[in-house]
Structure formats: structure tokens, C-alpha cells
Structure 1
Amino acid sequence: MTDLLPLTPDELLTTTRAVRKRLDLSRPVPVEVVREALAVALQAPSGSNRQRWHWIVLTDPAVKATVAKYYQQAYSAYSQAQVYPPDSTAARVASSASYLSEILAEVPVLVIGAIEAGELPDGNQAGVWGSLLPAAWSLALALRARGLGTTWTTLHLQYEHEVAAALGIPSQVRQGVLLPVAYTKGTDFRPAGRIDLESVVHLNGW
């Protein structure tokens, strides 16, 4: 088993950050480490314990390049529609996201989280995604504990059907998240600033 970082549960939860510029593109990631983290992630809950999730792990450079191409196309359209004040947190995040779009194909491993769902229901879809996304976040936590980082990305979903065709994903399997995985440059991540708790907590009603 891979050695784990000496993090308390609260430290793990508060320092698992969106990592882009600190992904180490030069250090290989053994597939067994990713499988180990996925085995932890599969302990997450799913509706009726059906566990209908699937994890497409991409290591082949040509395959990663195909997915990266669609991601870059989606990011290009997205970024052109955004205007941020200079030196704002949003501007820094945008710079980081732009970097990721440029180097995505070079990230050692890409993991697509997907779920058997067929046609998505009209209205609230929490029942579908609530059976996938907790496990995807558990994967991010398990990776962090092992000295790896990732970031939550969904832009490629604008080209979900094209990516599915390229990867041979069946039509009844819907993609929900793309996680680029690499060792991080250092492991000294800190909690991020967040809005005041009292502004978002509602006791006994709104």
C-alpha cells in the first residue's frame, strides 16, 4: 500500500485543493496507485447501493490528446465569454484554468467518472449525480492522501458524445466529471478562503 501523508481527517478535507499549476507533469503515476485510490472511492454511497458508476482511466498519450482536444475547444469558447477584474480571485482561477487547458494532454493520468443512466430525467437530477459525485470527490481525497492532486473539471462534457465515441463508452453511460491526476509539486496545501458560515446556514427553514 502507498504511504499516506500524515493528515488528520479535517486537514485532508480542508487542504484537498483544485490543483492545476502544481501538477508535476514530469513524474509518472503508477496505475496501481490510481487503482488503490479508486478502491477507497468505491466505499462512497450510491442510490440503493446500486454502484452503477464507471471509471475510465486514461494513460495512453494519443487517447489523452483526443480528450484534451475537446477540452481545449470547450475552454476556448468558455474563456472568451468571461471578463474578470485584474488581480481578482476569479482572474487567478482563470489563469490556472487556462494553464490546465494547455497542458491537459501532458497530465500523466486522466480519470473520467461516469454512471449508467441512459436518458437523463427532466427536472432535478440529484438522484443520478448523487450516485456518482460523492465517489469522485472521495477519489480526490484519496489521491491527496497519497501525495497526488487533481481538479474538478466538466468542460469536456460539451463534447460528451464525441468523447464517448472516441473512448467506446456505451450510450447508456453518462459522463459526470474529468479528473486530471498527477503527483503535486510539494504537498503543503492550505485551506482556502470561504464565505462566512452564517451567510449560508439556515436553521429550521430559510
Structure 2
Amino acid sequence: MSADTLSHVTYTLDLNPDELLTTTRTVRKRLDLERPVPMELIRECIEIALQAPSGSNRQTWHWLVITDAEKRAAIGEYYRRSVEQYLAGPGAAGKLHADDPERGPVQRRVGDSVAYLGERMGQVPVLVIPCLKVHSLPAGNQAGLWGSILPSAWSFMLAARARALGTAWTTLHLTYEQEVSELLRLPEDIRQTVLIPTAYTIGTDFKPAARQPLDEVLHVDSW
């Protein structure tokens, strides 16, 4: 990115690259639902996100930023319905590893926070939906297709974190993808990927999350 492009960017948090990468959390309960988010900050985050890689450098991405209260409420209602269905199923976060003394309590907290956001998605000041222009979905491997937008979505979340904004990686709204597409008047060849609620956070003291030990998931040269 050129110096001219970066000239207007103001970072609000002093984070080195490792800190940024390891403390960008999915934020649900600590999103500030009352504080407005300046559109200029969102534009800065998307401008940075557009530096992410895309297949063959096609850059067939589009970004929907929803600030209208009625549209946020409508999307929030679709999300709430989908969360309700998800939490009732056997694969819900609060039910996974329920008997594991270490992971069980963490998963129950995740399930509780999912339910919390499910009731409040429509109240989040800004909803961001990265989209991809797709004429038809390939029948086979789609990694290259979605790999052309998901790194950009993650870059948006990192840029938001650097500006004291919180985000969450959510996809449950896609149960109602057609309804949301009609609400937002999307062309037929535009597919939604992830729904990213974006707001200032209540505090900025996020820490690395507990993860599986590296040696349990690392394989060198063969399985």
C-alpha cells in the first residue's frame, strides 16, 4: 500500500503484528450497541481489506455496509431465527465437548454468547457483508472461489481491531440468504459470505484464546 493511501489512517491501538493477530477475537457481549461508528473508519478498514489476495487477482468482491436502522433490524431478525434453530441442534457450540472438563465450560460460554448476539444483531451500529460476484457455483472444489474473499474479510476484522472496533465472524444469516439478498436488492450473481457486526468495544483488553496444543495438530512431511 502506498504512502499516499496510508496518509489518512490513524491507528488507535498500539499493537505489534503478533498482538494484532492473536487478540482479534470474535466479539459478541462486549460490542457497544450505543456508540455510533464513523463511516470513515469503516471505509479505512475496507480499503485495507482490499489489499488481500484474490484468485488470479480478479478482485470480484463487493462490500455491503448496512447502517440503516430498519434494515439492520430486519437482518437481525433473520439472524435471530437462524441462531434459534442452531442452538436447538446437536452441533451447537454449547453442546460440543460438553463432558470435557477443559473445553466444556469454554464451549458453554461460547453458546451463551452466541445466544446473546442472536438477540442483538439488529442493534449493532454497523453490519458488514463481504460479497463475491459468482456467475455459477462450481460442482467440485470451491476453495479457490471462497478463498478470493475470506482473506479480505479477515483483513477487515484485523483493521477494525487496530481501530478499537470489535467484530464477529458469523454466517448463520445465510440460512436466509435469499431473503437478505432481496432486502438489500443484490443482483443475482452476487453471493454473500460472512456477516460481520462491527462496533466499538467495551474495553480493548482482549487476549489470545485457549487453543489446542500445536503438537496435537501439526504434521510435518506426512500425517
Say whether the 8 Å CA contact 1:118–1:174 is kept in structure 2: no
Q: What value does the CA root-mean-square deviation take over the aligned residues?
A: 1.2
**Which residue of 79, 82, 102 maps to 1:74?**
82
Residue 194 of structure 2 aligns to a residue in which SS? strand
1:108 aligns with 2:117: no
Q: Deviations over 1:103-126 (max 9, x none)?
A: 111100000011001221112210
Where do 5+ consecutive residues of structure 2 fail to align? Answer: 1-8
The answer to whether the aligner puts 1:145 opposite 2:162 as a matched pair is: yes
Structure 1 residue 37 corresponds to structure 2 residue 54: no
TM normalised by structure 2 equals 0.89
The correspondence of residues 124-143 of structure 1 with structure 2, limited to 5 A, is: 124-143=141-160
Check conservation: 2:76, 2:123, Cα contact below 8 A. no
Higher mean C-alpha displacement, 74-83 vs 186-195: 74-83
Structure 1 residues 9-28: aligned runs within 5 Å? 9-28=17-36
What pairs with 1:1-206 in structure 2 (closer than 5 Å)? 1-81=9-89, 82=92, 84=95, 85=98, 88-206=105-223
SS at match of 2:195: strand
Cα distance between partner residues in 2 of 1:119 and 1:98:
34
More deviation, 116-125/31-40? 116-125
Report Cα offsets for 1:82-108 as digits up to 9, x if no partner: 462396211100100111011111100
Q: CA deviation at 1:4?
A: 2.7
1:124 & 1:73 partners in 2: Cα distance?
A: 30
The structure 1 segments of at least 4 consecutive aligned residues displaced by more than 2 Å after TM superposition are 1-4, 82-87
Kindly provide the CA deviation profile for residues 13-60 of structure 1, in whole angstroms up to 9, marking residues without a partner as x.
000001000001111001110001110111000001111111100000
State the AA in 1 paired with 2:85: A
CA distance in 1 between partners of 2:214 and 2:11 (Å): 34
* Structure 2 residue identity aligned to 1:78: Y
Paired residues, number:
206
Q: Which amino acid aligns with 2:80?
A: Q
State whether residues 2 and 33 of structure 1, in contact with CA within 8 Å, keep that contact through their aligned partners in structure 2.
Answer: no
Runs (5+) with no aligned partner, structure 1: none
| 2-structure distance, mates of 1:99, 1:118 | 36
Cα distance in 2 between the residues matched to 1:204 and 1:198: 14
Instruction: Give how far 1:204 is off.
Output: 1.1
Q: Secondary structure at the match of 1:69?
A: helix
**CA deviation map 1:50-79 (0-9, x unaligned):** 111111000000011111111111111111
> Which residue identity lines up with residue 173 of structure 1 in the other structure?
I
Measure, in 2, the Cα distance between the counterparts of 1:70 and 1:105. 9
Shift of residue 3 of structure 1? 3.2
